[in-house]
Chains A and B, each alone.
Chain A
């Protein structure tokens, strides 16, 4: 079962537009949805036992830069755009999404408008962090373990906690 899934993922990635040939996948990479996924050169998916989810819905884009690193069970869901720069490290169990999928009140099927997530170069996201819709992580920011990011993080800042607040700024 797992081997078939891995093969299907490989075939799917092969057919995806603008995927660089030179990136490494260890374990299972689960790409689904009808959107567009772009992966840059030298990016490593270190999926471990559980796998990594890349979910781009129809008309959505996930753009991953060069030399990034993804940990086990990281999950990216895009309804509009999730853009990740170069040399970004995404820790294990991290979730990045650009839509919260439900409104606070109202019918369960109502879906709010998506707000794209932009992660610039050299950002480090530590394990179990959650990056919520509309967030912009600027160059060199560091998201501590388990932080929940609601809004823009300025360049070089270190944030922690839920909601994420600055530890220090460089």
Chain B
């Protein structure tokens, strides 16, 4: 396939992805150029805010965004969600700019009857299978490693590993700065 034809093909795919996102998030308050390559289940209409340039990667399981009545689920711009994420708000869930979410991340501000808002700051990376429990604040640039269950706050620039979570500064783990 020639290069120009490939570009036409790629741009067609990209606009299809954007159309697909528009259709699936049609009841939500959304920004521009949101893309998806898979299914999104968005329940809760205008309580869900999705920022511009957010990408939802498709896969085996749909990503679920659920906002109950009089709650607010806000996702800032430039986030990337891998497939099978579950974000549920009963009170308030805030997600910052440029966060990355792995496969099957569960963020829910209700657990066993306890409801407390969750705040996730900018450029946080939650690896696959992370669960965030109610009332947790995750600081800017923090990384939570695979399979961890976050029950307490994570300060900015920290690596949270294991269950129960242990905190290590990223400066120690990853010596050279970005």
Contact = CB atoms under 8 A, between A and B. Distances in A.
Interface residues of A, number: 24
Contacts of B80: 108
A162 B98 contact: no
Contacts of A148: 145-147, 162
Nearest to A93: B104
Contact of A105 (B59, B100, B128, B177): B177
A105 B60 contact: no
B55 to A, nearest CB: 10
Nearest to A28: B60
A8 B80 CA distance: 28
B162 A162 contact: yes
Contacts of B8: none
Interface in A1-57: 30, 50-51, 53
Given A104-B159, A105-B174, A130-B147, A51 B60 contact: yes
A100 B127 contact: yes
A146 B162 CA distance: 12
Contacts of B45: none
A65 to B, nearest CB: 23
Contacts of A142: none
Given A50-B60, A73-B60, A104 B147 contact: no
B155 interface: no
Contacts of A105: 141, 170, 174, 177-178
A136 interface: no
A158 B177 CA distance: 37
Nearest to A77: B103
B137 interface: no
A106 B143 CA distance: 12
Contacts of B161: 162-163
A107 B178 contact: yes
A146 B147 CA distance: 8
Q: Is the interface of B mostly helix, strand, loop or mixed?
A: loop
Nearest to B159: A104
A87 interface: no
A161 B143 CA distance: 19
B125 interface: yes
Contacts of A107: 178
Given A51-B60, A162-B163, A104 B103 contact: no
Contact of A102 (B125, B129, B147, B159): B125
Contacts of B146: 95, 130, 132, 148
A73 to B, nearest CB: 6
Given A104-B143, A105-B177, A130-B146, A73 B61 contact: yes
A102 B101 CA distance: 11
A102 B80 CA distance: 12
15 contacts: A53-B59, A73-B60, A75-B103, A93-B104, A95-B146, A104-B159, A105-B170, A105-B174, A130-B128, A130-B146, A146-B147, A161-B162, A162-B148, A162-B162, A162-B163
Given A104-B125, A104-B159, 5 more contacts: A50-B60, A95-B128, A100-B127, A104-B174, A163-B161
